[in-house]
């Protein structure tokens, strides 16, 4: 069913996985920025600033595009700044209607979006389809909130009163990681736009495609030109956005070291930041848990998107009395997962984002073995039968014989590697679960209701699960404690991160001045 020839506006891509040819004689596909309502090329193309994007599944060149420097970033921000007046003056309901149309257009084009998301990320197509829905959900959800964004009325003495307004911040910037490109474009742009802000997004340099498609969708839905913009590039482009004086806020997803740089760059302009950073989340399985569900939860918590997921439960603590049963079921189910062509509907583990990431994962695995870990299954480079599939594929891995101070147990691996750790008491396991600088997610499997809530109450994590893991709903806030981040995405609370409160005192009597 996959398209043999897909036409993106301005760029024609031929073949299921072939090298792209473009309207520009197959040389520089320059139309991957989105500024003022259209795909554009940087005004002053610089051949030394061409970025090559490889397709994870094949390792072949997928697209070449021009990195955005100061002029392009400024052009995008100015476009957003000019659009702000019109967009912020619309009523919430007017904004909502446009966003709802955008959500519908993505639904109509969802297979095309999923196709490109898979080619861009290497993740299995079944997951890419779910990711498209998480973007649709965000746009629909925040469009629903838009008309009800309002302040408070506060009665004061003698009939006077004050009121508050929730005003947009201005131009908001988003910077995305490569593991969930369309989701991040949706999760960041939807609340920004719903609150009356305009937006400039920089996707990861590894996954540039679907954020631009989203721009086309918004424009088709009637979003005024300039409200949603995209610039392409790596860290330097991101820094330019963070430091731009007309950017009021930065929402970033990525690693802790980069998050720290983003925060520092934003500090110069006293800008607010939302940071969704890394994790090393614990999942605690008590002996009384439904073990099949716990195994399912541990797999959801480790093997989505080839394990390249920030909230992953990479430390699975299992009560020693049920260790053997848990492990045998986990290994049996993990070994059955199909690794290979991300375009196949039944593939469950696709290609790693790039060679460097695969090498990093394999280095962690080698180190773990040297430190005494035992591979219960997986952890090998897989070569698919199809000779086109020259990307990096790693079979999902379960490590046993782990202990808390191993590097693989302490650091974010960002690959399909699950570490099993035994425990005996509740008190002990809580202390060990919290012994990390991260605090993105955490979970517990138990049928003891009281214990479940007692354990979660002590867990130092922003997003917690009882008897499940890694499920996401747009109505529920997502974000981290400790070094895993600041602020939240999703849920009503997100409105607070994309608006500022204006307080207005209204005097109904005379001024009582002691002068
Ligand atoms: N928490 C999460 O969701 C994610 C965590 N990671 C972690 O980060 C590691 C490295 O992955 P990367 O994609 O290289 O993540 P990264 O944190 O380096 O990059 C994320 C985004 O920030 C941009 N960026 C880089 N330097 C910047 C700067 N100084 N100022 C502004 N923007 C900047 C990048 O171009 C990209 O769009 C992974 O191995 C993984 O451990 C990666 C992706 C997502």
Binding site membership of 235 for ligand 1 (Cβ less than 6 Å): yes
The answer to whether the beta carbons of residues 166 and 149 sit under 8 Å apart is yes
For the chain, give the percent of residues with pLDDT over 70: 94
CA-closest candidate to residue 121, choices 209, 200, 33: 209
Residues 6+ apart with CB under 8 A from 431: none
What SS3 state is found at 407?
helix
Alpha-carbon distance of 222 to 243, in angstroms, equals 30
The alpha carbon of 351 and the centre of ligand 1 are apart by a number of angstroms equal to 18
Residue of the CA atom closest to atom 39 of ligand 1: 414
Q: 259 C-alpha vs ligand 1 centroid, how far in Å? A: 8
Residue 157 has pLDDT above 50, yes or no: yes
**278 CB under 6 A from ligand 1?**
yes
* Atom 26 of ligand 1, residue of closest alpha carbon: 235
pLDDT for res 31: 87
Q: What pLDDT, on a 0 to 100 scale, did the predictor assign at position 495?
A: 98
Q: Does any ligand 1 atom lie closer than 6 A to the CB of residue 419?
A: no
Q: What pLDDT does residue 193 have?
A: 98
Q: Are strands 499-506 and 161-168 parallel, antiparallel or unpaired?
A: antiparallel
Measured CA angle at 201 (ends 198, 205), to 5 deg: 175
* Dihedral sign for Cα atoms in the order 227, 257, 496, 162: negative
Atom 8 in ligand 1: which residue has the minimum CA distance?
255
- Confidence band for 141, pLDDT divided at 50, 70 and 90: very high
Q: Is the CB of 73 under 6 A from ligand 1?
A: no
d(CA 45, CA 68): 9
Token representation of residue 279: 């994790």
Q: Ligand 1 centroid to 14 CA: how many Å?
A: 30
- CA proximity to 299, closest of 337, 346, 345, 347: 337
Q: Which pLDDT tens digit goes with each residue over 391-439?
A: 999 999 999 999 999 999 999 999 999 999 999 999 999 999 999 999 9
Verify whether residue 276 is a known catalytic residue: yes
What is the pLDDT at residue 46?
A: 85
Average predicted confidence (pLDDT) for the chain: 94
Q: Is residue 75's pLDDT more than 50?
A: yes
Please indicate whether residue 414, judged by its CB atom, sits closer than 6 Å to ligand 1: yes
What pLDDT, on a 0 to 100 scale, did the predictor assign at position 30? 56
Cα–Cα distances (Å) from 185 to 139, 174, 192, in that order, read 10, 8, 11
The 3-state secondary structure of 175-234, one letter per residue: ECCCCCHHHHHHHHHHHHHHCCCEEEEECCCCCCHHHHHHHHHHHHHCCCCCCEEECCCC
pLDDT value for 440: 98
> What is the pLDDT confidence band of residue 11, given thresholds at 50, 70 and 90?
very low
> Looking at residue 392, what is its pLDDT?
98
């Amino acid at each position: 069913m996959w398209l043999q020839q897909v036409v993106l506006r301005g760029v024609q891509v031929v073949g299921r996985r072939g090298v792209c040819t473009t309207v520009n004689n197959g040389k520089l596909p320059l139309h991957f920025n989105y500024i003022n309502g259209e795909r554009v090329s940087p005004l002053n193309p610089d051949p030394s600033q061409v970025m090559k994007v490889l397709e994870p599944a094949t390792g072949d060149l997928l697209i070449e595009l021009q990195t955005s420097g100061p002029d392009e970033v400024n052009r995008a921000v100015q476009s957003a700044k000019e659009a702000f007046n019109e967009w912020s003056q619309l009523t919430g309901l007017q904004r909502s209607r446009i966003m709802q149309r955008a959500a519908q257009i993505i639904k109509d084009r969802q297979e095309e979006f999923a196709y490109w998301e898979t080619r861009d990320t290497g993740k299995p197509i079944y997951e890419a389809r779910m990711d498209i829905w998480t973007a649709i959900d965000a746009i629909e959800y925040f469009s629903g909130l838009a008309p009800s964004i309002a302040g408070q009325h506060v009665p004061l003495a003698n009939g006077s009163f004050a009121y508050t307004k929730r005003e947009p911040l201005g131009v908001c910037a988003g910077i995305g990681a490569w593991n969930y490109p369309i989701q991040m474009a949706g999760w960041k742009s939807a609340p920004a736009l719903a609150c009356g802000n305009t937006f400039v997004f920089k996707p990861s340099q590894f996954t540039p495609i679907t954020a631009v498609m989203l721009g086309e969708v918004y424009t088709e839905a009637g979003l005024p030109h300039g409200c949603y913009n995209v610039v392409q590039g790596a860290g330097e482009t991101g820094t330019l956005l963070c430091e731009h004086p007309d950017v009021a806020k930065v929402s970033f997803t990525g690693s802790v070291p980069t998050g720290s740089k983003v925060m520092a760059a934003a500090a110069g302009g006293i800008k607010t930041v939302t940071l969704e950073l890394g994790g090393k989340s614990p999942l605690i399985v008590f002996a009384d848990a439904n073990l099949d569900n716990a195994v399912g939860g541990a797999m959801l918590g480790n093997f989505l998107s080839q394990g390249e997921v920030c909230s992953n439960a990479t430390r699975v603590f299992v009560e020693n009395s049920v260790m053997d049963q848990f492990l045998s079921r986990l290994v049996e189910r993990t070994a059955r997962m199909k690794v290979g062509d991300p375009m196949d509907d039944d593939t469950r583990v696709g290609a790693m984002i790039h060679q460097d990431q695969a090498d990093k994962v394999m280095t962690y695995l080698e180190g773990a073995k040297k430190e005494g870990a035992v591979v219960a299954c997986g952890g090998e480079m897989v070569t698919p039968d199809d000779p086109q599939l020259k990307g990096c594929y790693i079979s999902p891995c379960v490590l046993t014989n782990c202990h808390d101070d191993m590097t693989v147990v302490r650091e974010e691996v960002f690959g399909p590697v699950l570490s099993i750790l035994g425990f005996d008491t509740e008190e002990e396991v809580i202390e060990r679960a919290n012994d990390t600088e991260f605090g993105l997610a955490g979970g517990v499997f138990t049928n003891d209701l009281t214990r479940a809530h007692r354990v979660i109450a002590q867990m130092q994590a922003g997003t917690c699960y009882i008897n499940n893991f890694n499920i996401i709903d747009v109505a529920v806030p997502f974000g981290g404690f400790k070094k895993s981040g600041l602020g939240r995405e999703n849920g009503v609370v997100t409105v607070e991160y994309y608006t500022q409160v204006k307080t207005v005192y209204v005097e109904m009597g005379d001024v009582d001045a002691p002068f």
